[in-house]
Structure 1
Amino acid sequence: MDPEAFLELANEVTKLKMFPYFEAAHCAIVCMYVKEDLASGSHMFSRKHPLACWLSCMLSIFAGTILCNFLLGEPALLAFKNSNSLLLATGVWYLMFYSPLDLPYKVCKFLPVKLVLAAVKEVYRCKKVHDGVAHAAMLYPTGYLIMIIAGIVKGNGGAILKLLERLFRGVWTPSAVEFMQPSFPTKACAAASFIFVLNKKTNLISAPSSLVYFGIAIFFVYFKLSSVLLGIHDPFVPFENLFCAVFMGGIWDALGHAVPTAKGEHTPIKVDSTKNGKTESGRKKD
């Protein structure tokens, strides 16, 4: 592709309006996750506890903005200041849980539709990460770690608040803490936030900001589609294993377990058989 045409395409991607199509795809994917998390009890739960169902979905949909605002010292309820976005999210929630024959859910689960929704949601995720980093940079110009954290929670706040979202539905799962076993979206948001910070605050990346944004969006979309189609869920795992083996004590722990075992194999152990407190030599003397 011609570099100028590629740069123009990147500029157009950065100017995309997220409302309503990208936000609708995000809402649909999130409501699907909540419905699947409820499993076979989703139908009964949505009928018996509609308020809890709505609250859990709204918390998941706006989790990134809620948590980012809270961490940056702003009102968490500012996430709901846009009535159009709230109405859109409520409409998608209603269609996903209360439509006859679960038709919208089945359509969204259809593989071609699911791929389109997943790709659109990842573009939306890239936008959220970029906005989180940019917002934190305005408040804390030298707080690089704050910018990265803001990008992470803005891009994947739903996973971080999963514990609270399930609690709204009366389910307590303390093992669902995202930081114990970070998912790939959390790691990808961390990497994207780091790159955005480097692009904004240093001269290490000489490419235009629009190209950096476009590259990260392609990264998100590519690995999401790879996860759905090829089952590649976390490409960071091999690098994490190598890092932990070298820098987190993995090699030394393995050597520590291996050395006593080797000694135990080559050192004979003499054990005198006893009976009624006497050794064999003692019985011979008697």
Structure 2
Amino acid sequence: MWPYFDVPHYIFSAIAVRDDLGPSALQFARQHPFSCWLSTMMISFAGTLLANFLLGEAPIEPFRNHFDVLAATAIWYLVFYSPFDIFYRVSTFFPIKLVLSVLKEAQRAYKVSHGVAHACRVYPESYLVQAMVGISKGAGGGIVKTVEQLVRGVWIPHKHEILHPSFTTKACVIAATVFTVERNSNLITAPHDLIYLAVVGFFVYFKLSALVLHVKDPLAPLENIFCSIFMGGIWEAFSRAVETTKEEVNSSQKHKNDDNFLTVSNKQKNGTKKETKKAK
């Protein structure tokens, strides 16, 4: 995977930190270089950090390879401190970004597959653990974002991947489930290489769709249908319809009673007037 797939991953990790900092990113990087560097390293190695934490292994292990750390550090420096901001401008130039995104998504598929395979060796009977480790490997950057923001002095507890999962996390859930089922059952009989290629195509296709066609979450319509059927949406709509019907019936009955009361009142007034005339 080195360096053709790792380098784009490090580039997008540093860009993600910079974009999250907003307009004051360069000023923050100059005033707090260590905090900025540590945030970038956490995002760059988030998948392995989180997977090792779940498996009870050393979270510091990703930093064991000094070549990876030096490469990620060099890219962090270029993203934040390159002359005339040229590295950031080139990396975010749309054609370059498309190519880097393809490489990044190919690496994401590898991480999910590798995470499931590693967890399968450690916990061969636990399908949930295998899927969770695969998801952590592929979408670790988004999951640990809240902790990474704390390093920069930012605390946004209502915005995290567990509460508001992005499509990337959802796609990793699907991919990890496919790899787990493929390894532990006979439901998927296709060769592993073919399944892996299909997952890579799945990641790349939807990433390019997001960049070119601005498709944010293609799973949202399916989620809405699922929630309306299985999460009480139909019964809630039925309950609202019943309540609305009751209110309309009560309102109609009230108007009818008011009309009857007015009719009786008018008759009584007319009868009183006639009796008064007769008395005169």
Q: Give the TM-score taking structure 2 as reference length.
A: 0.89
Give the aligned partner of residue 197 of structure 1.
Answer: 180
1:159–1:178 CA contact under 8 A, matched in 2: yes
Aligned with 2:76 (options 93, 109, 113)? 93
Give the aligned partner of residue 15 of structure 1.
Answer: none
* Residues 208-243 of structure 1: per-residue CA shift (max 9 Å, x gap): 101110110011001000000001121111111111
1:119–1:221 CA contact under 8 A, matched in 2: yes
User: Which letter does structure 1 place at the counterpart of 2:6?
Assistant: E
1:156–1:189 CA contact under 8 A, matched in 2: yes
- Equivalent-residue separation in structure 2 for 1:255 and 1:207 (angstroms): 44
Q: Secondary structure at the match of 1:76?
A: coil
Q: Secondary structure at the match of 1:159?
A: helix
Shift of 1:80: 1.0
1:162–1:176 CA contact under 8 A, matched in 2: no
Shift of 1:138: 0.3
User: Which letter does structure 1 place at the counterpart of 2:238?
Assistant: L
Give the aligned partner of residue 223 of structure 1.
Answer: 206
Q: Secondary structure at the match of 1:176?
A: coil
Q: Secondary structure at the match of 1:257?
A: helix
- Equivalent-residue separation in structure 2 for 1:233 and 1:212 (angstroms): 25
* Residues 137-190 of structure 1: per-residue CA shift (max 9 Å, x gap): 000001000000001111010100110111111011001221111110111001
Give the aligned partner of residue 244 of structure 2.
Answer: 261
- Equivalent-residue separation in structure 2 for 1:182 and 1:52 (angstroms): 26
Q: Give the TM-score taking structure 1 as reference length.
A: 0.87
Percentage identity across paired residues of the two chains: 49
Give the aligned partner of residue 189 of structure 2.
Answer: 206
- Equivalent-residue separation in structure 1 for 2:120 and 2:74 (angstroms): 34
Please say if 1:124 is aligned against 2:107: yes
Give the aligned partner of residue 64 of structure 1.
Answer: 47
- Equivalent-residue separation in structure 2 for 1:192 and 1:23 (angstroms): 20
Give the aligned partner of residue 162 of structure 2.
Answer: 179
- Equivalent-residue separation in structure 1 for 2:199 and 2:120 (angstroms): 19
Q: Secondary structure at the match of 2:153?
A: coil
Give the aligned partner of residue 155 of structure 1.
Answer: 138
Please say if 1:234 is aligned against 2:217: yes
* Residues 44-96 of structure 1: per-residue CA shift (max 9 Å, x gap): 10000000000000000101100100000101001111111111100100000
User: Which letter does structure 2 place at the counterpart of 1:202?
Assistant: S
Please say if 1:43 is aligned against 2:26: yes
Give the aligned partner of residue 5 of structure 2.
Answer: 22
Shift of 1:270: 5.1
Aligned with 1:81 (options 64, 71, 76)? 64
- Segments of 4+ in structure 1 off by > 2 A? 268-272
- Equivalent-residue separation in structure 1 for 2:89 and 2:153 (angstroms): 26
- Per mean C-alpha deviation after superposition, the further-off stretch among 90-99 and 257-266 is 257-266
Aligned residue pairs total 258
Q: Which runs of 5+ in 2 are unaligned?
A: 258-280
Q: Which runs of 5+ in 1 are unaligned?
A: 1-17, 273-286
User: Which letter does structure 2 place at the counterpart of 1:261?
Assistant: T
* Residues 113-141 of structure 1: per-residue CA shift (max 9 Å, x gap): 00001110000100110111001000000
Q: Which has the larger radius of gyration?
A: 2
1:62–1:79 CA contact under 8 A, matched in 2: yes
Shift of 1:21: 1.7
Aligned with 1:139 (options 122, 125, 139)? 122
User: Which letter does structure 1 place at the counterpart of 2:77?
Assistant: Y
- Equivalent-residue separation in structure 1 for 2:106 and 2:70 (angstroms): 21
- Equivalent-residue separation in structure 1 for 2:154 and 2:87 (angstroms): 26
User: Which letter does structure 1 place at the counterpart of 2:188?
Assistant: I
Could you say what the CA RMSD is over the residues aligned between the two structures, in angstroms? 1.7
- Equivalent-residue separation in structure 1 for 2:91 and 2:105 (angstroms): 16
Give the aligned partner of residue 34 of structure 1.
Answer: 17
Q: Secondary structure at the match of 2:51?
A: helix
- Equivalent-residue separation in structure 2 for 1:233 and 1:267 (angstroms): 45
1:152–1:186 CA contact under 8 A, matched in 2: yes
- Equivalent-residue separation in structure 2 for 1:226 and 1:153 (angstroms): 23
